[in-house]
Structure 1
């Protein structure tokens, strides 16, 4: 009986030992699993931090991209602005060159003078229309511009007075002649009331008047009249005109 009792006691002790060992093993396994489970959040944290870092890097890349785009835009704008400025400057320079390229009248030198027999060539010619008219032409032969003031003062042959001037023929402005240009005056040889009291003319003296229209200035021009010229006391001479046709409309 004691032998059986000891055997049971030993069996019970062995069973208890195995149970203890089993519990210890389970405890260690659960602890390791718990530790593993506790370690999992660290892995999530790392993943989260990595995600944050990735997002931060992405944001930084976006900011850098924006800065780069802004810089490129500024560079482009600066280049565009500079180019536009260069074009405007070129256009402005071109405009200035164009304006200075015009030199005006280069055929004459010096300030204008009064037209006289000394710096003009005076001719007289008979015209078909209007009838009983002559055309007086004064051409500037000098090197300076000249002004043909007022009307020419005419003296036929040995007449005591100068020929009448047609006051209604005053031009809008004084006739200015560059070298080579001409002024014109129409001569109506006689009026309707002259009748048969006409004079046969052979010579004509042309005097130039100053700006004041008082007396004469410079040398006169001595001309021969066309053959068969007759003039009367009621004839007239126009003011100097810049247009031949205008001079012959009176």
Structure 2
């Protein structure tokens, strides 16, 4: 009985190999090879475009929007490092705005950060009318910046004082402007 069962199994295997050959699939490639995952890199000005826009609400806020212009996904780690007119001094980062996960930008997708420019009373102490802004991206270690500096245009009549602060990168505009 074992000899007969072996012949039946062998015949079935031969039939399967013949059927695969007719379809152009060899018996050794019948299992699918795992797809190679796209390498995800850090977002920098080299693979993104960043713009700064004025918003009507909340008051004294700007919206930072960075869009992945590359061909592979990128990670927007931490918060943007923002400086006005004096790139050496950056505005404070709102620690309470840490998202649940690092924002991943597929090609063509955007990340957002809310930027409080001044206190609620407007022209406060140690403030000035901003003319230029520098923006750097953080790397995975979030210790310093990576890549070149972006310089998005600053909307006219942007008052910046000591209370200026920026949120972490968020996946939506609404989330960025809650801070």
> How far does residue 171 in structure 1 lie from its aligned partner after superposition?
0.1
> How far does residue 219 in structure 1 lie from its aligned partner after superposition?
1.4
1:249 aligns with 2:178: yes
Cα deviation, 1:52-83, whole Å, max 9, x if unaligned, reads xxxxxxxxxxxxxxxxxxxxxxxxxxxxxxxx
1:122 aligns with 2:54: no
C-alpha separation between the residues in 2 aligned to 1:171 and 1:122? 20
Structure 2 partner of 1:204: 133
C-alpha separation between the residues in 2 aligned to 1:192 and 1:184? 22
Cα deviation, 1:127-171, whole Å, max 9, x if unaligned, reads 000011000000000000000000000010125411100000000
Q: Structure 1 regions of 5+ residues with no counterpart? A: 1-103
C-alpha separation between the residues in 1 aligned to 2:107 and 2:149? 19
C-alpha separation between the residues in 1 aligned to 2:42 and 2:93? 19
Structure 2 partner of 1:95: none
**RMSD, matched Cα:** 1.7
Structure 2 partner of 1:138: 66
C-alpha separation between the residues in 2 aligned to 1:159 and 1:232? 15
C-alpha separation between the residues in 1 aligned to 2:177 and 2:129? 22
By relative contact order (CA 8 Å, sep 6+), the higher-ranking structure is 2
> How far does residue 197 in structure 1 lie from its aligned partner after superposition?
3.6
Question: TM (normalized to structure 2)?
Answer: 0.76
Instruction: State which structure, 1 or 2, has the greater radius of gyration over its C-alpha atoms.
Output: 1
Structure 2 partner of 1:226: 155
> How far does residue 234 in structure 1 lie from its aligned partner after superposition?
1.3
| Higher strand fraction (1 or 2) | 2
Cα deviation, 1:184-238, whole Å, max 9, x if unaligned, reads 0000001258725421101101100101111110112112210001101111000
C-alpha separation between the residues in 2 aligned to 1:125 and 1:189? 12
The within-5 A match list for 1:158-237 is 158=86, 160-192=88-120, 195-237=124-166
Q: Structure 2 regions of 5+ residues with no counterpart? A: 1-34
| Higher helix fraction (1 or 2) | 1
Secondary structure of 1:168's aligned partner: helix
Q: Residues 192 and 160 of structure 1: is their aligned pair in 2 closer, same or farther, counting only changes over 3 Å?
A: farther
C-alpha separation between the residues in 2 aligned to 1:207 and 1:159? 10
Secondary structure of 2:86's aligned partner: coil
Question: TM (normalized to structure 1)?
Answer: 0.55
